[in-house]
Amino acid sequence: MATNFVKLESFDGGNFIRWQRKIHFLLVSLQVAYVLNTPKPEETENETIAETGKRQKFEHDDEISKGHMLNAMSDALFDIYQGVLTARELWEKLETKYMQEDATNKKFLVSHFNSYKMVDNDLLWNNFMKLKEF
Taking CA 83 as the corner, what is the angle to CA 90 and CA 30, rounded to the nearest 5 degrees?
Answer: 45
pTM of the full predicted structure?
0.70
The backbone torsions φ and ψ at residue 73, rounded to the nearest 5 degrees and listed phi first, read -115, 155
Quick check: 57 pLDDT over 50?
yes
Cβ–Cβ under 8 Å, residues 28 and 36: no
Quick check: 105 pLDDT over 60?
no
Enumerate the H helices of the chain as residue ranges. 16-29, 49-71, 75-81, 87-133
| For the chain, percent of residues with pLDDT exceeding 90 | 56
| 15 class by beta-carbon count within 10 Å (0-12 exposed, 13-18 middle, 19+ buried) | middle
The backbone torsions φ and ψ at residue 11, rounded to the nearest 5 degrees and listed phi first, read -80, 125
Q: What is the pLDDT of residue 111?
A: 59
Q: Where are the domains of the chain?
A: 16-133
Non-local CB neighbours of 25 within 8 Å, separated by 6+ positions: none
Query: pLDDT band at residue 100, thresholds of 50, 70 and 90?
Result: confident
- Tell me: the pLDDT tens digits for 122-134? 665 565 565 555 4
Q: What is the pLDDT of residue 62?
A: 97
Higher-pLDDT residue of 128 and 25 is: 25
